[in-house]
Amino acid sequence: MTQPVDHNDQTSPPLHNLIKNTSEQNHTQPAFTRRRFIHGLGASAAALGLAACGDDNTKWQLDNANHQDTVTFTHGVASGDPLQDRIILWTRVLPTANQPNPKVQWVIANDEAMTDIVNQGEATAKAANDFTLKVDADQLSPNRQYYYQFESNGVKSRIGKTKTLPADNVEQVKLAVFSCANYPAGYFHAYADAAKRSDIDVCIHLGDYIYEYGRSVLVTADKGLSEEKVAYASANAAALGREVDPAEEITKIGDYRRRYAQYRSDTDLQDLHANHPMIAVWDDHEFTNDAYMKGAENHQQDEGDWEARKLAAMTAYHEWLPTRNTLLNNVTRSFDFGNLLSLHMLDTRIIGREKQLDYANYVTTDGFNGIDFFVDLSNRDRQLLGLNQQNWLAMQLQNSTATWQVLGQQILMGKMWIPSPILLNFSNPATGVDVATYMTLMAKQQQAPDMLTDTEKSILAQPSIPYNLDAWDGYAVARENVFGLAKAANANLVVLAGDTHNAWANDLQDQSGDAVGVEFATSSVTSPGFEEYLADIPPEQFAAVLPTLVQGGTLKYTNSSERGYMVVTATPSDCTSEWVFVSDILKPTYSSRVGKTLCVKVGENKIA
């Protein structure tokens, strides 16, 4: 009999700021100036125990349970971190005042009728873990579909469906990939669509599973006057009945737990978890916007100690996600799908990342200080993964014998450098030109170059620079190190990414121009993309011209205006990504379609 996993038994402006828009950084409705354009916490067991103890959240949960006569499985069931012989099973039991720590029986079976039982056991749901429960169910067979269920005091949960990883020779693996699900922004139709599919082996979540923002924010105007505005991506929240709970920005353990409880009340998300196992990593919004190892853009001094907030966020994350965590601050782990695919989940956000560069620090009265910027950008000591995680990844790549090496991680890895006049314009229109103007100048250069003025020639002659310093572009040496690891391992490298709210496909090339792999990046589940910030440019026109703006010709595809998810299918000969888009996240009904399909073949390391 497998023992339950005990959460407490652990050891130990502009571009990203010229382009991380003010609407998200100030948590207001968009004014497009800054949006992502176009082991660090030495937590001891004692500290973890304190963090997980009951607090104001416990009282809140019990108060809200008092009206119930018996326990309820309000937040459904989930499974995750599958291996060939075991898988994590998850549920949450809402207690009653008379049953504050309910006993819970669990069972896993070969059949949906739950008669052919493979394993079973009992555990206790405790306030110290927010009444969530994890069981590491073993004695399973590879590549098998199983059904599982929980029961407490005669009340049964819904039946969940899950699947173990395959072993030996594998002909196909199919992954559904998600990122950036903002509850107040709209309905989780992407989750609903994937939940209905019977061909998915595992769901991959690349972060921003929740968002930390409150319902509104005080914004200070130029004259010192403040006004309350609707928070980021929340313009339709009240009308949709999706205003966040708690109403304020979340900073403490009870806040994070309540926000997860709200997200997990969503029936589409419950259906996704009940129908497929999930492998997940966090990004910044599970903590707060633009987080890094020692702080975050959206963490101010009056919001308490950063380490305490980080610990609270990690604790709630592992309570509410079906992760097999042995260290609270760790989401780095690998999964082998037989001889076909090795999936390496990385943390590019918290455990090794140094503070992001900020273009605002390089803009002077004389213009942009490119020399200092490129010196800092090429600093060999700046870390993104951190040395420990980088060395771990090197070992995984070298030791794997699988055909495909897949990195599940948060941020764009492709080199996305675009003309500096466009980027500088986001911070100060006096220092650059907008996208439409630059597109017009490019057309003029192609059609009538003799008609260009000296000023227009000067604009077109300006260098390209990274558009998003929060992405791998802001950590150029760290990216080259990963490329070097992939080349040394002779890997067929496929990188999965999220974070930007837009769909992308990139060829990955090192600084010598050698092809080292491809990147497939998913759109968001609900968070707004460029369509909200570049409303004056038709999305199709913008998507068509963007590859010509990106230096090097490595951008192969983008969709800047639709929400959805990816389905990545690996076979012994190729790896294909389908970008699935849903019709409308503001309506309760939807349709879905495959908007684009791209493929990389074994040995080519570039998009076919």
* pLDDT for position 13: 34
Residue 369: pLDDT band with limits 50, 70, 90 = confident
* d(C-alpha 504, C-alpha 148), whole Å: 36
* pLDDT for position 397: 98
* pLDDT for position 97: 84
- The arithmetic mean of pLDDT across residues 160-188, rounded, is 98
* d(C-alpha 291, C-alpha 551), whole Å: 28
Residue 463: pLDDT band with limits 50, 70, 90 = confident
Within 10 A of 511 (CB to CB), how many other CB atoms are there? 11
pLDDT digits (tens, 9 = 90+) for 186-219: 999 999 999 999 999 999 999 999 999 999 988 7
* pLDDT for position 226: 79
Exposure b/e, 280-309, CB count within 10 A at least 16 = b: bbbbbbbbbbbbbbebbbbbeeeeeebeeb
More confident residue, 38 or 173: 173
* pLDDT for position 105: 98
* d(C-alpha 201, C-alpha 56), whole Å: 39
Between 430-434, 562-566, 587-591, the lowest mean confidence (pLDDT) is in 430-434
pLDDT at 502 over 50: yes
Residue 354 covered by a domain: yes
More confident residue, 156 or 326: 156
Residue 435 covered by a domain: no
* pLDDT for position 65: 53
Residue from 467, 539, 452 nearest 503 by CA: 539
Residue range(s) defining the domain that contains residue 126: 4-223+233-416+467-601
pLDDT at 153 over 80: yes
Q: What is the pTM of this model?
A: 0.91
The CATH number of whichever domain residue 290 belongs to comes to: 3.60.21.70
Residue 364 covered by a domain: yes
Residue 29: pLDDT band with limits 50, 70, 90 = very low
Dihedral sign for Cα atoms in the order 66, 70, 76, 77: positive
* pLDDT for position 428: 74
Tell me, letter by letter, the H, E, C secondary structure of 331-375. CCEEEEECCCEEEEECCCCCCCCCCCCCHHHHEECCEECHHHHHH
- Give me the percent of the chain exceeding a pLDDT of 70: 88
pLDDT at 379 over 70: yes
HSE, side-chain direction, 13 A CA sphere, residue 434: 11
Residue from 437, 480, 482 nearest 460 by CA: 437
Residue 38: pLDDT band with limits 50, 70, 90 = very low
Residue 275 covered by a domain: yes
* d(C-alpha 19, C-alpha 470), whole Å: 10
More confident residue, 67 or 133: 133
More confident residue, 473 or 38: 473
* pLDDT for position 24: 62
Residue 306 covered by a domain: yes
Residue 459 covered by a domain: no
pLDDT averaged over every residue in the chain: 89
Q: How many domains does the chain have?
A: 1
* pLDDT for position 471: 98
* pLDDT for position 363: 82
Cα dihedral angle (46, 332, 316, 126), rounded to 10 degrees? Answer: -60
Residue 447 covered by a domain: no
